[in-house]
Amino acid sequence: MIRDAFGLVYAGEQNMNLRELVYHRTVGALPVGGRYRAIDFVLSNMVNSGIRNVGVIAQRSYHSLMDHLGSGKEWDLSRKEDGLFILPPFSSSENRGEYQGIVDAIKGVMSYVRRSKQQYCIFSGSYSIYNSTYDDALSYHIETGADITMLYSVEENDFFRGERYNDVRLHLNDEGRLIDMEVNSALSDSKMVGLDTYIIRKELLEYLVEDCASRGKHLFVSDLLMGNINRLKIMGYRHEGYVGRLHSVASYYKLNMDMLRPDISGDLFYGDNQIYTKIKDEVPAKYSKTSNVKNSLVANGCIIEGEVEDSVLFRSVYVGKGAKIKNSIIMQDSEVYNNSDLEYVILDKSVNIRQGRRLVGDKVFPVIIRKGAIV
Amino acid sequence: MTSKKKTVAMLLAGGKGSRLGVLTKHRAKPAVTYGGKYRIIDFPLSNCIHSGIDTVGVLTQYEPLELNAYIGTGAPWDLDGITGGAFILPPHQKGELGEWYTGTANAIYQNFYFIDRYEPENILVLSGDHIYKMDYSDMLKAHAAKGADATIAVIRVPMEEASRFGIMNTDDDLRITEFDEKPKQPKNDMASMGVYVFNWKKIKEYLIEDAKDEKSSNDFGKNVIPKMLQNDEKLYAYPFDGYWKDVGTIYSLWESNMELLQDSPGLDLYDEGWRIFSRNPNMPPHFVDKSAKIKNSLISEGCHIYGVVENSIISAGVVIGEGAVVRDSIVMQQTQIGKNSKVIMGIIDEETQVGENCEIGGGGEITVLGTKVVLRDGVKVAPGESVGAGRTVRKTEGGAKK
């Protein structure tokens, strides 16, 4: 258990590759896996590591994020000492309320960083989906005398070339020290992909952020890390389990479909550490006499009277009689009425599909229906 | 300092529930699973918070461990407020004496000081063996409007079943004239639901009296209420119209679960304004394999379904193997049903492991497996049989019953 670190999560990502899914929410608030929000994974990883002090940097469209996180109670982060701190931007003489990059964002919440009593900071984005604790990575960081340790995974299959977002490729020497890195490169031959999670001593973080900002540099990877690659000892630490990344609609789609595989859902959900999320007190899913469900994930609160195959149903979805849903992701509170036919579709929250409608997308380009739409 | 409360609820959760057999071998009845996700006690607790009652004493006695752990701080029901909350009240030593709760009235009597701290006008006495949604604030209003000393909630039951209940005979104004505990010849069909409102000052006197009476069995229904009627106190019936079920027997528990599968169940669990809260197991959505076939069932989080499930209620984290058939049954959390096994009209308690090619039940009568039972491959359990908690069954036993 880690007692001497605090967590800092950057949830300001606004990845436009995710199209309509992020018009009204940040990547961290994106619903995944039938029940969760993207940020649940990194928050749970931190809490499962023993971290009790977590700051979440919010930027634009953070209403749904705040609504989701609340007091932090569901992550066991509603505490007397420390706990969860949501850090929205505010205008000050130094900051106009709009961050120009992650370095700028950390600078904007520097008073929280300074106030944190722990010696180490685990800094992370919110678009990587994995289940792990940071205990071993922190031990490795201390043992190797690293200035910064960055987590990565090895990805043999490269599905999303060209649609990358914050895709950081690492080049390590034999000792595991970072010697080069590339961001969103279509040319990289490295299979080591960053998890957007870093371990750094708090004082060094403070220094590097000030140092960067004072030179008008605002980007974390390009400026803070690559700009200091020779000056600092940056080590890579490999995460062995499954990692999903919310680069694009296609990778979002793939992540959800991956969760239908028992080996992947086993790795993400049925290991030693739980993934926590907001609790809704829903009724168990109800299957009627006319339902027919195959190879799908179904959350509580659903009522299914139709056919569902190779799909992910979030909480409280209704599927009417004769409706057919295939290869689709249906978010919370959406309703698909009788005899509708959906294939390769992502329905955002509270969408209403009227009787007899037919929507067909493609595996690499699923149809997205925006939140609250009536079709 | 303790805040004054208008009403304090006292939930009697100490009952052994011996008619639930192996299901209550190691847990109190209110901790029994219901509806694939809930425990029986979720219903009165959720009713309390929705009715604006935020101070609930939970009186435990029999096998309280699971119940205590379940209630915890009361947070899942929003019963962890600054001035109120859920309080577990086990029997405890007072002065020289330490004694068990000898009856329902005695349980309240022994927690005198707990109630007095809030100086309530009324206490609401509830039991932990019923499934229902009820707004107690309406009952409290009726109690106040009548200027009653006690108000007893009643529900109409089929006349032929009336002799199983406490029956209230009232005048036209619903004032109770007579209380018949399980009468052979019931005079009407208004049965007590085990929900009482008492004026605290008044009932206190009776409880003190009753405690002195060595012949009393210290029970509300048997002793205290008849005594109040004898003394011409103002007791009123409060008729309730809605789903209410005593799930104190294996059959009624099974039946009430099965009623959730009807097209429009009497108990609406989807009511946004009256959610039934429970301690959440926090598991991912359940997985339905391509080999699975599910009809007319409730399936909870974290399950893996590979087999056939029909007319059944499946709690969180259950695995039903390929080729297995579960029909007209209740399977409780974390239980595993092995490949090609059959469960017909069964109740299978938590964390039980059924091997492959087993046969449990077969209809006609309910077959029960307790918690943490292990059935080895190929074992048969005949209809109507039950297997005690924690047992490992290596081969088919008995055979007297077919």
Q: Are A181 and A226 in contact (CB under 8 A)?
A: yes
Provide the pLDDT for residue B232: 94
pLDDT number for residue A145 = 96
A313–B35 C-beta distance less than 8 A: no
CB atoms A283 and B298 under 8 Å: yes
Q: Which of B75, B277, B282 sits opposite A274 (nearest CB)?
A: B282
pLDDT, residue A17, reads 82
Interchain pair B295, A35: CB under 8 A: no
Q: What is the mean pLDDT of residues A165-193?
A: 89
Sequential pLDDT tens for chain B (402 residues):
567 899 999 999 887 777 888 888 888 889 999 999 999 999 999 999 999 999 999 998 888 888 889 999 899 999 988 888 999 988 877 655 667 888 889 999 999 899 999 999 999 999 988 999 999 999 999 999 999 999 999 999 999 889 888 899 999 999 999 998 888 999 999 999 999 999 999 999 999 999 999 899 898 988 999 999 999 999 999 999 999 999 989 999 999 999 999 988 999 999 989 999 999 889 999 999 999 999 999 999 999 999 999 999 999 999 999 999 999 999 999 999 999 999 999 999 999 999 999 999 997 899 999 999 999 999 999 999 999 999 999 988 865 443
Return mean pLDDT, chain A: 91
Q: Which pLDDT belongs to residue A157?
A: 76
- Rounded Cα distance between A6 and A117, Å, is 8
Cα torsion angle, B153, B121, B129, B256, sign: positive
Note the ipTM here.
0.91
Judged by a CB distance cut-off of 8 A, whether residue B258 touches chain A is no
| Chain B nearest-CA residue for A261 | B287
* Dihedral angle sign, alpha carbons of residues A131, A135, A141, A144: negative
Edge-to-edge strands of the sheet including A367-369? A367-369, A345-347, A329-330, A312-313, A296-298, B286-288, B304-305, B319-320, B336-337, B353-354, B374-375, B392-393
A218 to chain B, minimum CA–CA distance in Å? Answer: 38
**Minimal Cα–Cα distance from A348 to chain B, Å?**
17
| CB contact at 8 A, B204 and B110 | no
Q: Tens of pLDDT along A229-246?
A: 999 999 999 999 999 998
Which of A73, A274, A297 has its CB closest to that of B287?
A297
The Cα–Cα gap between A301 and A288 comes to: 13
Secondary structure (3-state) at A142: helix
Chain A residues with CB under 8 Å of B75 CB are 73
Contact A287 B315 (CB under 8 A): no
CA distance A52 to chain B (A): 20
Superfamily of domain A5-269: Spore Coat Polysaccharide Biosynthesis Protein SpsA; Chain A (3.90.550.10)
pLDDT score for B401: 44
**What three-state secondary structure class fits B179?**
strand
Domain A5-269 matches domain A286-369 at the CATH topology level: no
CA atoms of B192 and B251, how far apart (whole Å): 20
Residue of chain B nearest A312, judged by CA positions: B285
How many residue contacts between A and B have a Cβ separation below 8 Å? 99
CA distances from A130 to A65, A151, A255, A344, B354 (A): 19, 11, 11, 24, 33
CA distance A99 to A109: 11
Which among B290, B295, B298 is the nearest to A294, CB-wise?
B290
Q: How far apart are CA B315 and CA B303, in angstroms?
A: 8
pLDDT at A80: 85
What the block records as the tokens of B93 is 């030593």
Q: B269 CB near a chain A CB, below 8 Å?
A: yes
- The average pLDDT across A266-275 equals 94
Q: Is 50 exceeded by the pLDDT of residue A27?
A: yes
The neighbouring-strand residues paired with B156 are B190
Give the torsion sign (CA, A132, A138, A144, A145).
positive
The pLDDT value given to residue A160: 62
Rounded CA gap, B1 and B12, in Å? 26
State the Cα–Cα distance between residues A292 and B210, nearest whole angstrom.
60
Provide the H-helix boundaries in B11-155: 42-50, 65-71, 104-110, 112-116, 136-146
**Mean pLDDT in residue range A5-18:** 87
Query: Shortest CA distance to B132 belongs to which of B219, B28, B50?
Result: B50
Q: Where are the domains of chain A?
A: 5-269, 286-369
Q: Give me the CATH topology for the region A286-369.
A: UDP N-Acetylglucosamine Acyltransferase; domain 1 (2.160.10)
Of the candidates B270, B278, B286, which has its C-beta nearest A298's C-beta?
Answer: B286
Residue B301 sits at the chain A interface (C-beta within 8 Å): yes
pLDDT score of A91? 59
**Tokens linked to B8:** 């304090």
pLDDT value of residue A95: 57
Residue B164's Cβ-side half-sphere holds a number of Cα atoms within 13 Å equal to 11
Tell me the backbone φ, ψ of residue B303, rounded to 5 degrees. -80, 155
Q: Which residue in A298, A302, A304, A313 has the most chain B C-beta atoms within 10 A of its own C-beta, making it the best mutation to test that interface?
A: A298
pLDDT for residue B61: 85
The answer to whether the Cβ–Cβ distance between A274 and B292 falls below 8 Å is no
Q: Do A284 and B35 touch (CB under 8 A)?
A: yes
- The reply to whether B294 touches chain A by the CB within 8 Å rule is yes
CA distance B98 to B103: 15
DSSP state, residue B22 = G
- Is residue B100 less than 8 Å (CB to CB) from chain A? no
Most confident of A224-228, A319-323, B247-251: A319-323
CA–CA separation, B308 vs B85, rounded Å? Answer: 43
**Is the distance from CB of B302 to CB of B332 less than 8 angstroms?**
no
CA dihedral B190, B195, B200, B205 (to 10 degrees): 60
- pLDDT tens digit sequence for A283-296: 999 999 999 999 99
Higher pLDDT, A102 or A298: A298
Instruction: Give the helix/strand (H/E) hosting A153.
Output: strand A148-154
Which tokens sit at B125?
């006495």
3-state secondary structure of B386: strand
- Residues of A at the B interface, defined by Cβ within 8 angstroms: 33-36, 73, 259-260, 262, 265, 268-269, 274-277, 279, 281, 283-289, 291-301, 309, 312-314
